[in-house]
Each structure stands twice: as C-alpha cells, then as structure tokens.
Amino acid sequence: MSGPSLPVLAPIADGFDRRVTYLRVSLTDRCNYRCTYCMPEAGVDLVPRAEVLSIEELARVVGVLARAGVRRVRLTGGEPTVRHGLVDLVEKLAAIGLDDLAMTTNGHVLAELAAPLRRAGLSRLNVSIDTLDPVKFRQITRWGDLARVVAGVEAARAAGFRGTKINVVTLAGWNDDELPALARWAWERDAVPRFIEWMPMSGGAIFAPGTFFAAAEIRRRLADELGPLVPDEAGDLPGVGPARYHRLASDAAHRFGIISAVSEPFCDTCNRVRLSSTGQLHTCLARDEVIDLKAPLRAGLSDEELLDRVRAGVAAKVKSHDFSPTGCGGPRKHMVTIGG
C-alpha cells in the first residue's frame, strides 16, 4: 500500500525495549453472534453510540501511530462487519500506506462484503470457524449459521483474498476431536488454520472448567492423525501476529498456527496494542489498565500531544500477563469489547 509521505516520528516502545508495530482496532462492541467462549448468553452492556469513536477519529489515531512505527493494523470487534461505514474506514486506512491491513470476522455477512472490502484496500482476512458440524456450530455461537460463514470464505477467495486464516478456539470436549478435519478443510481452500487456546476473560466468569485444551495437546492431536510436525518459523511475516507455526514434515505447504497465550505465553515478543471502540488503548489483552485517548481527541489535542499520551502509557506496560488454565488471572473486560 502507498500513502502520503509524512515525517517519521520516533518509535513507541515499552520499558523492556519492545516496539509497537502492530495495532488492533475494535470498531464496535456489538456482535451478531453470542459465542460461548467470548461473551455471556445475555450479551454485555453496550456503550452508547455517542461514546464510540467516529470513522474520522479512528483514522486519525491510526495515522498518528503509523507515523511512529505502527505498520500493521487489524480491524476487530465485537464483529467489525456490523459497524456502519466499514468500507469507508478501510479506504481511509489503506490510504495511510500501511504494510498490512487485515480484519478478523465471524464471516456471517462476508459473502456480501468480501468484494467491496477487497476493492477498498483490505489486505487479509481471519474468519472464525470452530467446528464443521452445523448443529455444534449453532451451539457454540448460539446464533451462528455455518453455511453462511462457509459461503463467506468462498466469496473472499473469489474476491482475491489469499492466505485467509481460519481461527479455531479449541475447546476440550467440544471440538478437539475435529482439529485434523478443520486443518484439512482449511488447506483445501488455500487457507491457514490457527488453533487458539481459550483465554479466561470476563474475570473468568464464562470460563468452563475442563474445557481448556493446551497448545501441546493441539500439536499432539494433529500429529497423531496427520503425521510428524516440524516448526515453520518462516511460515508467516514477522510481526503479523502472535501465532507460532508448524507444518507437516511431509508437506511444507500444509502449515498451521497456534496461539498459546495461556500455556506458552509470547510476552517477550509482544509488539501489539489494542484500541477499543470507545478510544481506550489497551497495552495488554490480559490486563484491565487502559489509556484514554477519546477525551483528549475530543478536547482538541494535537497529534504530538496524543502520541505523547500513548508513549507514556506504553512505557508503563508490564512485562507479562497471568493467564491460568484454571480460569484465574484474567481481566474483567470482555473479549467481545476488545476483539482479542
């Protein structure tokens, strides 16, 4: 992507010399699904729309951080496709000149949006599919329709998206027996499966005992059915995300990622911050401390003053988080409000 040439500012770094090059932007706390591992069945208290950053405010924050070294941006939710003005926002962000502009979606309306988003400048997609069983899919998502999501994946491929990631939150007793089948399904569509450990958000309130399935177990389950695995350190672009990649020893093209925030943390290489839809900057997914950017944005702070606020907050970032497979140590915030 190419964009306007602006003065490059000093990079944003924490006290452990970890530089921020990756920003995840939550566009809304609203979602058209109610996934059991993400939010309570009744949903969460939604913020008033007046508290949500406008398209212009979101684009301004991204533009400021891009000048200070953020090169990769991922749009999340809630569910980002329910945000009014999504295509317009993608056009504005693509014009900044980022190295990568991606989006994570549940895929429910992707069949309609894939082509417009591609034309607007979106680089890549992650689509959540936790099971290939339509009944089980409905149970996990509460409101989801597997056929619609599969149609969305096919539409994305037709629109020119390549290397789409298929995100699978792995739950013991729910879908751990499907991991090899999900991997094969993704590979058949030139997609990359990524298996994600369930993280104890919401103060552990929705974390069900006995459902945690660790990264080592994921690798073992895949190796037992698909054959020996080897690390694939070159399997992704540096700094794109937190997944660690493996591939089949017999086929370099068949690779998969695992996000193991609980059992095998990756805090030492963290290069991410997260912006909520209400303008709160989160320096760690697993902690509740935030930096308010909305109030200064609306008070008329300059770009430099805004960036100083970001620098001060990131400088105070802790070294690591405290997720536990028992559900303890997680933050009070809900995954649906910050987008992972």
- Residues 137-162, mean pLDDT to the nearest whole number: 97
pLDDT of residue 199: 87
Within 10 Å of residue 286's Cβ, how many Cβ atoms?
A: 21
Nearest Cα to Cα of residue 263 among 214, 320, 222, 218? 214
Whether 238 has a pLDDT exceeding 50, the answer reads: no
CA distance 32 to 24: 20
| pLDDT 10s digits, 26-80 | 999 999 999 998 887 777 888 899 999 999 999 999 999 999 999 999 999 999 9
Nearest to 138 by CA among 34, 41, 256, 67: 34
pTM for this prediction: 0.94
**So what's the pLDDT on residue 63?**
97
State how far the alpha carbon of 207 is from the alpha carbons of 42, 201, 265, in Å.
Answer: 16, 8, 18
- Residue identified by tokens 């504005």 is 92
pLDDT at residue 7 in the model: 58
pLDDT value for 153: 98
In-domain check, residue 13: no
Instruction: Give yes or no for residue 324 having a pLDDT over 50.
Output: yes
Rounded-to-integer distance, Cα 236 and Cα 263, Å = 21
Asked whether residue 60 is domain-assigned, the answer is: yes
Q: Stretch 128-146: mean pLDDT, rounded?
A: 96
| β partners of residue 282 | 274, 290
Average pLDDT for residues 136-146, to the nearest whole number?
Answer: 95
The count of structural domains within the chain is: 1
- 38 in a domain, yes or no? yes
Average pLDDT, rounded, for the chain = 92
Is 1 inside any structural domain? Answer: no
Any domain includes 11: no
**Per the structure block, which two tokens stand in for 293?**
């950017």
User: pLDDT, tens digit, for every residue of 208-232?
Assistant: 778 999 999 999 999 999 999 999 9
Confidence at 332, pLDDT banded by 50, 70, 90: confident
**Would 17 be classed as within a structural domain?**
no
Structure confidence at residue 336 (pLDDT) = 83
Structural domain harbouring 201: 22-338
Confidence band, pLDDT 50/70/90 cuts, at residue 147:
very high
Between the CA of residue 182 and those of 126, 172, 189, 249, 319, what are the distances in Å?
14, 15, 11, 18, 34
AA letter at 310 = V
Query: Which residue is listed with tokens 């945690």?
Result: 212
Residue 234: per-residue pLDDT = 67
| 84 part of a folded domain | yes
12 located within any domain: no
Distance CA 275, CA 61 (A): 9
pLDDT confidence of residue 337: 83
Identify the CATH number of the domain in which residue 293 sits: 3.20.20.70
* Cα–Cα distance for residue pair 193/177, rounded to 1 Å: 15
The predicted structure's pLDDT at residue 6: 56
